[in-house]
A and B are shown apart, each in its own frame.
Chain A
Amino acid sequence: MVLLTLLAVITIGVVRLRNLFAVVILGGAYSFLMASVMIVLDAVDVAMTEASVGAGISTVLMLGTLYLTKTEEVRPVHTPVLPLFVAIITGAVLVYGTLDLPPFGIADAPIHAHVAPYYFQNSIPETGVPNVVTSVLASYRGYDTLGETSVIFCAGIAVLMLLKGRRARKGAGKPGKGGKA
């Protein structure tokens, strides 16, 4: 599909660019394209979440970090031959592994056979909610959503502990613990 090829082109841009502001904006464009791909793949809840979280909150936080660290350019690095070699070998092995997967979009692949028909038949009689994603997320698999909410809670508390309050003192000089706020 054309959208997937655009995703690959944006990724090449993110790897090669050195101006961090442009990289963050390209990351936001990447998230929007990923949300469009997910709509084509019929995943509407996931597309809404990816668009709002990936292209909204994530871009705002990265721009905030760029503002605070005052660094906008990445200096040129020494030639990365070994990481490129490792990356290409990993990619080749994964491509070899995907040749055995079932082809895209057929209806009798093994993953459609066992658990999903139970949810589609029993969602309205047991919970009365037509959106099967919401009923599975909140009722059938409610424990996982409780764990996810507490992960968000922990992340919020941790960021508040790290960043609350103004900077304690300027120019610590030696690398040490910079002021506990």
Chain B
Amino acid sequence: MDLLQDVIQHYNQWITIFLMVSGLYIVVARGNMIKKLIGLSLFQTSVYLLYISPGKILGGTAPIIGEGFSVYSNVLPHVLILTAIVVGVATLALGLALVVRINEAFGTIEEDEIFEMISEE
């Protein structure tokens, strides 16, 4: 039926959207800073999946030229996502260093308690 065919063709993208939305929810709704950073990395990883899944050709192979293969997956998303993964881990390391310094300055890493401390000084 038409709905089942839609689901099978777009299953990759719908799972990607679910991961993206839950990453966004963690960033917005949770107050602990480490959990926010984990939610951000969840969001970034779902975007990698979103970029790579259109590049796949059914019946093709990895983009390394070899004897006997003629259909390869598209190479451009792989290059972009390679850069994006490494930049993502650099940002994560910097965010975690900031969390460590915030903990030393305020004594806590919960966002609500830090707001109370700032607003009552």
A touches B in complex, CB < 8 A: yes
Inter-subunit contact A99/B34 (CB<8 Å): no
Residues of B within 8 A of A154 (CB): 90
Knowing A65-B99, A74-B31, A132-B63 are in contact, say whether A151-B22 is a contact too (CB < 8 A). Answer: no
Q: How far is the CA of A172 from the CA of B69 in the complex (A)?
A: 65
Q: How far is the CA of A31 from the CA of B48 in the complex (A)?
A: 12
Q: Is the interface of B mostly helix, strand, loop or mixed?
A: helix
Inter-subunit contact A151/B87 (CB<8 Å): yes
Chain A: CB-nearest residue to B99: A65
Inter-subunit contact B65/A130 (CB<8 Å): yes
Interface size class, chain A: 35 or more
Knowing A37-B49, A83-B25 are in contact, say whether A53-B86 is a contact too (CB < 8 A). Answer: yes
Q: Is A29 an interface residue (CB 8 A)?
A: no
Knowing A62-B34, A65-B99, A162-B98 are in contact, say whether A177-B105 is a contact too (CB < 8 A). Answer: yes
Inter-subunit contact B110/A75 (CB<8 Å): yes
Among B78-112, those with CB < 8 Å from A are 78-79, 81-83, 85-87, 89-94, 96-101, 103-106, 108-110
Q: How far is the CA of A101 from the CA of B91 in the complex (A)?
A: 31
Inter-subunit contact B48/A95 (CB<8 Å): no
Interface residues contributed by chain B, number (CB under 8 Å): 87
Q: How far is the CA of A104 from the CA of B64 in the complex (A)?
A: 21
Residue positions of A touching B, CB distance < 8 A = 1, 4-5, 7-8, 11-12, 14-15, 20, 23-24, 27, 30-31, 34, 37-38, 41-46, 49-50, 53-54, 57-58, 61-62, 64-66, 68-71, 74-75, 77, 80, 83-84, 86-88, 90-91, 94-95, 98-99, 101-107, 109, 111-112, 115-116, 119-120, 123-124, 130-133, 136-137, 141, 144-145, 148, 151-152, 154-156, 158-159, 162-163, 167, 172, 174-178
Residue positions of B touching A, CB distance < 8 A = 6, 8-15, 17-26, 28-32, 34-35, 37-39, 41-42, 45, 48-49, 52-66, 71-79, 81-83, 85-87, 89-94, 96-101, 103-106, 108-110, 114, 117-118, 121
A27-B38, A62-B38 are known contacts; what are 10 more A-B pairs with Cβ within 8 Å? A15-B25, A20-B34, A62-B34, A69-B109, A74-B31, A74-B110, A77-B30, A104-B56, A133-B79, A136-B76
